[in-house]
């Protein structure tokens, strides 16, 4: 069964602690993305990666870090420097050929992070 998994679904942390959110895909997609969603808002891009060992900042990368050591995995670390970390975090992946064909993104089920 192909798809994207994110774990855990709910995560609770104390302020000042770093926390890592997991994202794994078995779709053989090259590109992976992390978005953040706040209540009643659209999605905002945190980081994306088009290829292993390479990633780019999105619109709101401050206070976050990522790694892309394997094609299937793109973990996101929410650091203590992130001022408002409580949010719904969504991971996505897509094919990427670098050419003139565009592909849809497939999303995981999300992780709801609460920091108190």
Partner 1 sequence: DAKTTQPPSMDCAEGRAANLPCNHSTISGNEYVYWYRQIHSQGPQYIIHGLKNNETNEMASLIITEDRKSSTLILPHATLRDTAVYYCIVRVVGTGNQFYFGTGTSLTVIP
- Indicate whether 98 belongs to the interface with partner 1 (CB under 8 A): yes
Of residues 11, 52, 71, 110, which one binds partner 1 by CB under 8 A? Answer: 110
User: How far are the Cα atoms of 18, 21, 40, 106, 114 from residue 12, in angstroms, in the given order?
Assistant: 11, 11, 21, 26, 5
* Structure-block tokens of residue 51: 């290829």
For the bound state, the minimum distance from the C-beta of residue 116 to partner 1, rounded and expressed in Å, comes to 20
Q: Which is nearer to partner 1, 53 or 100 (CB)?
A: 100
- Neighbouring CB atoms inside 10 A of 92's CB total 22
- Indicate whether 105 belongs to the interface with partner 1 (CB under 8 A): yes
Q: Are 110 and 57 in contact (CB under 8 A)?
A: no
Residues 32-61 that bind partner 1 (CB under 8 A): 33, 35, 40-43, 45, 48, 50, 56, 58-59
Question: Measured between alpha carbons, how far apart are the two ends of the chain, in Å?
Answer: 36
* Contacts with partner 1, residue ranges (CB under 8 A): 4, 31, 33, 35, 40-43, 45, 48, 50, 56, 58-59, 88, 90, 92, 94, 96-102, 104-110, 112
């Amino acid at each position: 069964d192909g798809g994207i998994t994110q774990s855990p679904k709910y995560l609770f942390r104390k302020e000042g602690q770093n926390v890592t959110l997991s994202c794994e895909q078995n779709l053989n997609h090259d590109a992976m993305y992390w978005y953040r969603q706040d209540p009643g808002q659209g999605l905002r891009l945190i980081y994306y990666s088009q290829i292993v060992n390479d990633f780019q900042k999105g619109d709101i990368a401050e206070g976050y870090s990522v790694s892309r050591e394997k094609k299937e995995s793109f973990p996101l670390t929410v650091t203590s420097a992130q001022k408002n970390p409580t949010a719904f975090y969504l991971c996505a992946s897509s094919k990427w050929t670098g050419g003139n064909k565009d592909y849809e993104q497939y999303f995981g089920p999300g992780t709801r992070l609460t920091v108190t």
